[in-house]
Amino acid sequence: MAHIVKSLDITQKLEVLSQDSQYDLACACAPGPDEHRKRSAQQKWVYPVTFASGRKTFLFKTLLSNVCRNNCRYCPLRKAQDKAQRLSLAPYEIAGTFLDYLRRRKVSGLFLSSGVSHVPDEVMRRINNAAAIIRRSGFRGYIHLKIIPGASQAAIKHSLSLASAVSLNIEVPGKEHFQALALEKDYNRDIMESISYISRLRMERDPARRPHQTTQFIVGAGAESDRQIVLQTGQLYQNYKLNRVYFSAYQRGAGESNIPGEQSTLTNAQMLTREHRLYQADWLLRKYGFCAGEIPFEQDGNLSLEYDPKEAWAKRNPHCFPVNINQADKLSLLRVPGVGEVTVNQILRLRQAGRKLRNMEELGRLGKRLKKAAPYLSFS
């Protein structure tokens, strides 16, 4: 049976709590090897991230508590899990340690979450108190706060007054899948109504001072399909103006033995590929002008593990190709497999300078991506 640990010092507690924060894997699909799911041996609670602007930094990332009264069937911190070290930090302990790291330039921002150790508003009070102490110190930098499902509107509003970004994880798409995994929470009341409320509050703010809003799906814990995830992702962007949706492949062994994620026939590598394909589909929605209804799926409702979503779309729409590289508009060029924003902007700059492209070599060294693009482009 799990027991509450009270004798550890702050550093020892952070060793445990920062390790447990690994299960919140937003930004798990990283472009560089130094941004993947790992921490240094010396600073285990320092987390490398890249913002949407491209700026790289380190966040002080931890849980305020790994004690949880909920029994979400996919979660390694669920109440029923026999976990030897259940512990919490006080708001002033989190704030003091963060400010110490900030002074030593080890970190530049905070990512704070928590298990549901008490009723949601009490957990939010502690999260918000930690952020408030840091703000009163004069820190005006990046603070990302987790919103606890079931938190009141007053608690959410307080978080938004303190945070640079907030997130309330949706976990799985739709009430049916959610209620099969999260028995104590109500999908509409605790998740969707709160996401809607956060969105309304944000839209009332001046855009320059508007906190970011994100959410995350745990991919493969339940029986949901990629189609359901992508369609809801599109709705989240369209209806609630979220800044980002993140995807985290379910980690086998984390949840109950009889949930779909434990029974899946996919290998661990295939589960990570599924996550990666969802990030690629998300990129098409946010950056390349695709709508959710255009994303191609296999007969089982999932994205192809063999082809990235853009290439799969191109194979199903041969009438759209080849694209004339010297005449096509930006959105048409962005739909070419293997061609990204950097290459498209290079093409447009060359065209504006009066250049007429005659072959792929004029775009520079031919890597795998440009070779993939060649069959879909024409130069005449």
**Does residue 26 register a pLDDT over 80?**
no
Tell me where in the chain the CATH 3.20.20.70 domain(s) lie. 3-303
Kindly write down the DSSP assignment for every residue of 311-375, as one continuous string.
HHHHHH-GGG-SEETTT--HHHHHTSTT--HHHHHHHHHHHHTT----SGGGGSS--HHHHHHGG
Mean pLDDT for 87-96 is 94
Mean pLDDT for 308-337 is 96
Tell me where in the chain the CATH 1.10.150 domain(s) lie. 317-378
Q: Which is it for the CA torsion 103, 108, 110, 111, positive or negative?
A: negative
Q: Which range, of 44-53, 169-178, 305-314, averages the lowest pLDDT?
A: 44-53
Separation between Cα atoms, residue 380 and residue 361, nearest integer Å: 15
The better pLDDT of the pair 146, 17 is held by 146
Identity at 7, one-letter amino acid code: S
Mean pLDDT for 309-330 is 96
Tell me the longest C-alpha to C-alpha distance in the chain.
Answer: 74
**Does residue 242 register a pLDDT over 80?**
yes
50 burial class (0-12, 13-18, 19+ CB within 10 angstroms)? middle
* pLDDT score recorded for residue 263: 93
pLDDT digits (tens, 9 = 90+) for 274-300: 999 999 999 999 999 999 999 999 999
Separation between Cα atoms, residue 195 and residue 151, nearest integer Å: 11
**Does residue 54 register a pLDDT over 80?**
no
pLDDT digits (tens, 9 = 90+) for 243-270: 999 999 998 988 999 999 999 999 989 9
Q: Does domain 317-378 have CATH number 1.10.150?
A: yes
**Does residue 36 register a pLDDT over 50?**
no
Query: What's this model's pTM, rounded to 2 decimal places?
Result: 0.88
pLDDT digits (tens, 9 = 90+) for 131-162: 999 999 999 999 999 999 999 999 999 999 99
**The CATH homologous superfamily of the domain defined by 3-303:** Aldolase class I (3.20.20.70)
**Does residue 31 register a pLDDT over 70?**
no
- Beta strands 142-146; 165-167: pairing state: parallel
Separation between Cα atoms, residue 63 and residue 13, nearest integer Å: 10
